[in-house]
Chain A
Amino acid sequence: MLARLKANRSAIIAEGRALLALVIIVVFFASMSSRFLDTTNLVIMTRHVAFNAILALGMLLVILNGGIDLSVGSTVGLSGMVAGYLLKGWEIPGTHQVAYPSVWVVILVGCLVGMLVGVVNGILVAKLNVAPFIATLGMMYAVRGLAELVGNGQTFTQLFGQKALGNTGFVSTLHDNVLGLPFPIWVMIVLTVLCSLYLTRTPFGRWLYASGSNERAAALSGVPVKRVQVRIYVLAGLCAGIVGLLLTADLSAAVPEGGSGYELNAIAAVVIGGAALSGGRGTVRGTIIGAFVIGFLVDGLVLIGVSVFWQEVIKGAVIIVAVVVDQAQQRLQKRRTAKQVSGPGSSPAAPAARSESTVMTRA
């Protein structure tokens, strides 16, 4: 019971650190620019954060498993391009007829495209034993190429649809305000809640944390580790597919290079949020805070007019500092827990594993 309390405290500290970074950023920019805390500005910045946060939720699942998904940025591009293509009309092969799927079909297909990329990633990693970094690196190139092939390198614009064809509403549904907030923000909120419940209230969540901490041990205790692996890549792909649709509506254009580089921002958000790239440790709340740290930092620097080269330097420095502090704290934590739970025959690894399993219940 005592150990559990301590572990809870460590989880609070890990998130608290990311939260502290966020508070510092908000206070700093608010003092530099009176516009920063303006409601309109906060809503715009949060909308920018939402794209990265949704990707980061998918990335968190993969990273909890000790994997990585570099293909999500390209998947964003592919799902957007497929949606753009369908909205402009799909010429049924072999006939000269053009089908105009209704908007909900387009949205569904966009999500399915993302999940399909995830299925391939999952099979490569779980069944063919390709290292996640390599498998998803390859998919990053392949999927980007597919995104360019969809429109033969062209951008799809004017995606408003036509009343006569019954395919209007893509842009307005996925972009306009709902109850005072832009739609992407609502998607972020809903997915955050779902993801949090999924990790803390279902067996799958426990399997994921267990297999991420120690895959062999998890497999021996009956966790279907391969199935878990495939599923997380599918979910990461789904998140990327959703972001592709939202970005396409946001720009009311589908660009083949859309989402390039987004995978790195997503990884950064997860890491700033206190997750370990080695797997088994990380929370939804931390990840969301991490996404806000990056998003508010980037937009804040533009708002106060810092030179673009310094923007990059500062963003990099914040990521590094976050991880360095995290590592130092981890070491301290491990030493402390090892001391406290030391008893006959207990290795230092055992208490660490236990503290992680309690972190998970608080995600």
Chain B
Amino acid sequence: MFKKHLAWAVLPVAAVALAACGSSSDSKSDSGSGSAKNAANKTMAIITVDPSNPYWKAEVDTAQAEAKKLGYKTTVNAHNNDQTKQSNFIDAAISAKVSAIILDPAGAKESIGAVQKATSAGIPVFLVNAEIDQQGIAKSQIVSNNSQGATLGAQEWVKAMGGKGDYVELFGQPTDNNAKVRSDAYHGVIDQYPDLHLLQKETANWDRQQGKQKMEIMLQAHPNITGVIAGNDEMALGAIQALKDANKLSQVKVLGFDGNNDAAAAVANGEMVATALQPIVQGSTMAVDQADQYLKTGKTGANAEKQAINCVLITKDNAAKLHDFVVAQ
């Protein structure tokens, strides 16, 4: 008898959960107080990768806030690097007749079709964070300069290593173009130093737990390493945890990338040598501003479709000022 009641008790819980979802999306689509009257009731569709990662969360939060400030409603979806999902969200945006789409694309080649589909339907698309392999379809492609950021990070790390020593590399998700771009830029700097030896390269799929477990085993294979380079902060933080457990953090220099809050704290207290801040807040703001400009004037106001924003090197000197992907002036 009790179980029967329990079964029914689940229903109201589910209903409340649904209601909660509904109300939160309402608050998201709150239009601003009409700072731009002609934009009233217009909607921007924001399609991102995965808001559970602080980096993409900052991307979404910034774009939403900026769009709201300019008087747009917003919808937010996440494709988790799945092209089919991305395509579905684009279809949904087209049928909802949104004014513009802010998209963090899932793959440089794979996303061309999706962007084309929206453009053909008369909806301008503004790409942020990652690019596509074709120009002339999207109105803007705003990316952070991964190669430049990784070069800066690698230079700082080489300095900390004193130009010599054995190290291992934690590589990002192999299907993600940025994993290769960053790794190539790291090696562009590091490989000029013949006394720096790469002993092993493992992928940890951008993930902190995997970074830790892979690092623990690599430490067994190579107990005397003095350096770790990681394709992003999460993997670097996992490696740092493994090094702490093995009491080896003091002898090993770790390099990250992204500039999230945990990494900023790690750099500030000396656990991580450096990280490269991707100016995602700036990029996200620019994408929304350009979308707004384009809707009002037919031009984005930028000189070129492809725009690369430089990364900022975060070291002990400026780590304390870094918060939520913005360095305080």
Contacts and interface: CB of A to CB of B under 8 A. Distances in A.
Chain A complexes with chain B? yes
Interface of A: 33, 35, 38, 40-41, 44-45, 48, 119-120, 123, 127-128, 148, 152-155, 157, 230, 247, 250-253, 255-258, 299, 302-305, 308-309
Nearest to A302: B217
16 contacts: A40-B220, A41-B220, A127-B7, A128-B7, A148-B52, A152-B57, A153-B53, A153-B54, A153-B57, A154-B54, A253-B208, A258-B209, A299-B217, A303-B221, A305-B200, A308-B174
B241 interface: yes
A302 B168 CA distance: 12
Given A48-B216, A119-B6, 9 more contacts: A44-B220, A123-B7, A153-B52, A155-B54, A157-B265, A253-B262, A255-B208, A299-B213, A303-B220
A157 B208 CA distance: 12
Contact of A252 (B207, B241, B265): B241
A251 B203 contact: no
Interface of B: 3-4, 6-7, 10, 51-54, 57, 171, 174, 200, 202-203, 207-209, 212-214, 216-218, 220-221, 234, 237-238, 241, 262, 265
A99 B6 CA distance: 29
B7 A48 contact: no
A250 B200 CA distance: 24
Contacts of A256: 52
Nearest to A42: B220
Nearest to A300: B217
Closest 5 CB pairs of A and B: A302-B217, A41-B220, A256-B52, A308-B203, A153-B57
Contacts of B54: 153-155
A308 B175 CA distance: 13
Contacts of B207: 257
Contacts of B216: 44, 48
A157 B262 contact: yes
B241 A33 contact: no
A35 B6 CA distance: 53
A108 B133 CA distance: 51
Contacts of A247: 209
A253 B218 CA distance: 21
A308 B209 contact: no
Contacts of A123: 3, 6-7, 10
A253 B171 CA distance: 21
Nearest to A142: B17
B51 A153 contact: yes
Contacts of A303: 217, 220-221
A30 to B, nearest CB: 13
B241 A255 contact: no
A245 to B, nearest CB: 14
Given A123-B7, A153-B52, A153-B57, A305 B208 contact: no
Contacts of B214: 302
Contacts of B241: 251-253
A108 B4 CA distance: 26
Contacts of A253: 208, 237, 241, 262
A302 B202 contact: yes
Contacts of B202: 302, 308
A127 B51 contact: no
B168 to A, nearest CB: 10
B99 to A, nearest CB: 26
A257 B220 contact: no
B239 to A, nearest CB: 11
Given A123-B10, A251-B238, A148 B221 contact: no
B270 to A, nearest CB: 16
Nearest to A126: B3
A38 B220 CA distance: 9
Contact of B209 (A35, A41, A152, A251): A251
Contacts of B51: 148, 153
Nearest to B220: A41
Given A123-B7, A308-B202, A44 B217 contact: yes
Nearest to B20: A149
A35 B220 contact: yes
A253 to B, nearest CB: 7
A305 B202 CA distance: 8
Contacts of B57: 152-154
A48 B213 contact: yes
Nearest to A227: B3
A309 to B, nearest CB: 8
B184 to A, nearest CB: 17
B52 A257 contact: yes
Contact of B212 (A119, A127, A251, A302): A251
Contacts of A153: 51-54, 57
Contacts of B209: 247, 251, 255, 258
Contact of A230 (B3, B174, B221): B3
Contacts of A152: 57
A357 B281 CA distance: 63
Contacts of A33: 221
A135 to B, nearest CB: 12
A152 B58 CA distance: 12
A35 B221 contact: yes
A180 to B, nearest CB: 15
Contacts of B7: 123, 127-128
Nearest to B6: A123
Contacts of A44: 216-217, 220
B3 A127 contact: yes
B6 to A, nearest CB: 6
Which residue of B57, B208, B234, B241 has the most chain A CB atoms within 10 A of its CB atom?
B208
B264 to A, nearest CB: 11
Given A119-B6, A127-B7, A148-B52, A251 B208 contact: yes
